[in-house]
């Protein structure tokens, strides 16, 4: 049947169809995962605060995310009077688009990747560095003080933490000798990078929290001072797009942490009960683990003060990751462990 | 054919966005058009097979430089009418620069046409694409033949950075700053403890 269809259509059209199907196969589970991440967040934080969390809609409250989505879907989109309508509508779309498009290079298993490009790490870095525009544009176009302040804070914060994320990425890719994400995972067959690069793992995780505007670095949307930050003027689907984009970015951070430090799709040990579990499931479990840390942090730590946030980024993480990069390069050269590629 | 179509799409958007950068009334819109131009130039690099340059263009220009532009422009309180006033005055200078750039570009194209082996000379030190990806090729060139120039450009950036800090930094007096080391170094003895009577306050 498939061969027959492939024969009928010109090869170009056929390839296009295959790619579209692959994209849907990535985006659909991703959106479901985003929906249930919000559910997991409320349940986990509920448990940590001795509450029950959502438990009314559906069995165990499992339909709660659907109900929330439906609510946002049927609400009215409000355009503030003096806003810039094109940018105002464009900002959430950009955020959502960027959150999805980064998943194109994430390898779910050996060869199971939409675009196996040789600059995968840089691509992710480029896309995540563009994520700030959605928030800044939203803050500016809303024509509101709170939204504007939220947008500015977010811009400064994301640019600061991107620098140390960059150095962490360079340390890892020095050890791998390739920017392809599949190569990064395969290089961890003997030892996950969390062991040699343990401090970098923590820096990456914390910078990831700052990069995705998560608590304790959620200053752009600090309720106490900015009402809700950059998205205060947004309602209905426009708000939902921000929300989905933000959670998809969190999942992306989880996936990146898993791929860079926790061995991606590789099993914990390469022995019988572990290597029978398929690769994508391993990746899923690792992402769940990182997501749990994200939620755990949110339930545990109070919000950072803004100057402390900047101090942590520029005066602690940046020098430390720079020193670690030099150390990595020195150790690799001294012991002759430099990967020989190309 | 398909590649040519995509090339024309990218270059048309770059040129269109470039025109919009200088003609947009609102400076914030100008910066956003500039970002669109950067992004599509990255697309052109991708078409050339220079994926490293494309990604670096997006990371550096879109992800960092333009964010700072936007950051500054958003906070400026610009009177848009005043902003346009000197337009005709600056036009001759702008046109002159444009002519210089055009002549240089034409000279480049001329060099291409008159000396066909120029391209071969440029390509000589780089291995072909099937031997090494262009990141590896670039790294092998930059860190061997051109290492001094690479270091020199790094030094220039460092000097620029120090200069900027020196020019903008002013030490203000009377500002309370948090010194983390002092806080951490405090002991129970150096802490000030006071008994507060109820209903009195300090």
Per-run averaged pLDDT (10 residues), chain B, 202 residues: 86 92 83 90 86 87 84 74 69 90 86 68 62 75 87 95 90 80 84 81 69
pLDDT one-digit tens code per residue, A159-205: 888 888 989 999 988 888 888 888 888 888 888 888 888 999 999 99
3-state secondary structure B155-200: HHHHHHHHHHHHHHCCCCCCCCCCCHHHHHHCCCCCCCCCCCCCCC
Give the rounded percent of residues in chain A with a pLDDT score beyond 90: 13
- Asked if A229 and A58 count as a contact pair (C-beta separation under 8 A), the reply is no
pLDDT number for residue A5: 63
Cβ-nearest to B132 among A87, A307, A342: A342
Interface of A with B in 70-99 (CB under 8 A): 87
Which chain B residues are closer than 8 Å to A136 by Cβ? 67, 70-71, 74
ipTM of the complex: 0.80
pLDDT tens-digit map of A16-31: 888 899 889 889 999 8
The answer to whether A138 and A91 have CB atoms below 8 angstroms apart is: yes
The answer to whether A151 touches B28, Cβ cutoff 8 Å, is no
pLDDT at B132: 67
Instruction: Please report the pLDDT score of residue A342 as a whole number.
Output: 44
Q: What is the pLDDT of residue B124?
A: 63
Contact B63 A126 (CB under 8 A): yes
Kindly report the CATH number that applies to the domain delimited by B1-78: 1.20.120.1200
Average pLDDT, chain A: 85
Please judge whether A122 and B75 are an interchain contact, meaning their C-beta atoms are less than 8 angstroms apart. no
Q: Which of A119, A314, A341 to mutate to test the interface with B (most CBs of B within 10 A)?
A: A119
Q: In sequence order, what are the residues at sequence separation of 6 or more whose Cβ sits closer than 8 angstroms to the Cβ of residue B130?
A: none
Of B160, B169, B178, residue with least CA distance to A311: B178
The predicted structure's pLDDT at residue A64: 87
* Residue whose C-alpha is closest to residue A100's, from A77, A72, A120, A128: A128
CB contact under 8 A, A125 and B32: no
Q: For A267-293, what is the mean pLDDT? A: 84
> What is the secondary structure of A159-185 as a DSSP string?
HHHHHHHHHHHHHHHHHHS---HHHHH
The beta-carbon neighbor of A119 closest among B74, B75, B135 is: B135
CB contact under 8 A, A152 and B68: no
pLDDT digits (tens, 9 = 90+) for A71-108: 888 888 888 787 788 888 888 899 899 989 989 888 88
Residue ranges, comma separated, of all CATH 1.20.120.1200 domains in chain B are: 1-78
Compute the distance between CA of residue A99 and CA of residue A112 in angstroms, rounded to an integer. 20
Angle A102-A107-A109 from CA coordinates, rounded to 5°:
155
How remote is the C-alpha of A29 from its chain's centroid?
15
What is the tens place of the pLDDT at every residue in A38-63? 899 999 999 888 888 888 888 888 88
pLDDT for B118 equals 65
Give the DSSP letter of residue A9: S
**What local confidence, expressed as pLDDT, does residue B83 receive?**
62
State the smallest CA–CA distance between residue B63 and chain A in angstroms.
Answer: 5
The DSSP element (H or E) to which A24 belongs, if any, is helix A11-48
Q: Which chain B residues in 7-46 lie under 8 Å from chain A, judged by CB atoms?
A: 28, 32, 35
Backbone phi, psi, residue B189, to 5°: -70, -40
State the pLDDT confidence band at A327, using cuts at 50, 70 and 90.
Answer: very high
CB contacts < 8 Å between A and B, how many? 69
CA A103, distance to chain mean position in Å, is: 9
In angstroms, the Cα distances linking B173 to A306, B169, B176, B180 are: 21, 13, 9, 19
Number of Cβ within 10 Å of residue A128's Cβ equals 24
User: Which residues of B fall within a CB distance of 8 Å from A140?
Assistant: 28, 74
């Amino acid at each position: 049947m498939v061969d027959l269809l492939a024969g009928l259509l010109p090869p170009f059209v056929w390839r296009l169809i295959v790619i579209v199907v692959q994209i849907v196969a990535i985006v659909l589970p991703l959106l479901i995962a985003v929906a249930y991440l919000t559910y997991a967040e409320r349940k986990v934080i509920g448990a940590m605060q001795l509450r029950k969390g959502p438990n009314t809609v559906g069995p165990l409250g499992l339909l709660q995310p659907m109900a929330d989505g439906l609510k946002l879907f049927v609400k009215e989109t409000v355009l503030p009077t003096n806003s810039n309508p094109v940018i105002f509508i464009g900002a959430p779309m950009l955020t959502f688009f960027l959150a999805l498009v980064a998943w194109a290079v994430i390898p779910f298993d050996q060869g199971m990747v939409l675009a196996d490009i040789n600059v995968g790490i840089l691509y992710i870095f480029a896309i995540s560095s563009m994520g700030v525009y959605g928030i800044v544009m939203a803050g500016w176009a809303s024509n509101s003080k709170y939204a504007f302040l939220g947008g500015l804070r977010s811009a400064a914060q994301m640019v600061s933490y991107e620098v140390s994320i960059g150095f962490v990425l360079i340390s890892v890719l020095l050890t791998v000798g390739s920017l392809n994400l599949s190569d990064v995972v395969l290089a961890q067959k003997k030892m996950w990078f969390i062991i040699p690069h343990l401090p970098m793992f923590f820096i990456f995780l914390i910078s990831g929290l700052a990069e995705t505007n998560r608590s304790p670095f959620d200053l752009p949307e600090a309720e106490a001072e900015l009402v809700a930050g950059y998205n205060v003027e947004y309602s209905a689907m426009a708000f939902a797009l921000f929300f989905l984009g933000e959670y998809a970015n969190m999942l992306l951070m989880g996936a990146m942490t898993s791929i860079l430090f926790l061995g991606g799709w590789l099993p914990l040990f390469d022995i019988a009960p572990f290597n029978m579990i398929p690769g994508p499931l391993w990746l899923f479990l690792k992402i769940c683990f990182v997501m749990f840390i994200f939620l755990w942090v949110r339930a545990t730590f109070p919000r950072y003060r803004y100057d402390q946030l900047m101090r942590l980024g520029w005066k602690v993480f940046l020098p430390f990751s720079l020193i670690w990069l030099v150390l990595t390069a020195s150790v690799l050269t001294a012991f002759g462990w430099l990967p020989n590629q190309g | 054919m398909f590649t040519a179509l995509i090339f024309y799409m990218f270059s048309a958007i770059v040129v269109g966005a470039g025109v919009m950068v200088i003609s947009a009334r609102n400076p914030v819109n100008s910066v956003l058009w500039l970002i669109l131009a950067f992004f599509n130039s990255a697309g052109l690099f991708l078409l050339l097979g220079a994926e490293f340059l494309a990604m670096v263009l997006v990371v550096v220009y879109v992800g960092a430089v333009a964010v700072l532009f936007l950051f500054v422009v958003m906070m400026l309180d610009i009177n848009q009418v005043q902003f346009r006033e000197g337009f005709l005055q600056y036009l001759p200078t702008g046109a002159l620069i444009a002519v210089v750039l055009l002549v240089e570009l034409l000279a480049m194209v001329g060099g291409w046409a008159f000396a066909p082996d120029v391209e071969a000379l440029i390509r000589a030190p780089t291995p072909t694409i099937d031997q090494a990806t262009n990141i590896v090729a670039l790294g092998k060139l930059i860190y061997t033949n051109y290492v001094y120039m690479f270091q020199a450009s790094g030094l220039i950036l460092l000097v620029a950075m120090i200069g900027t800090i020196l020019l903008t930094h002013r030490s203000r007096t009377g500002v309370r700053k948090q010194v983390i080391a002092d806080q951490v170094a405090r002991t129970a003895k150096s802490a000030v403890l006071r008994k507060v009577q109820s209903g009195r306050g300090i």
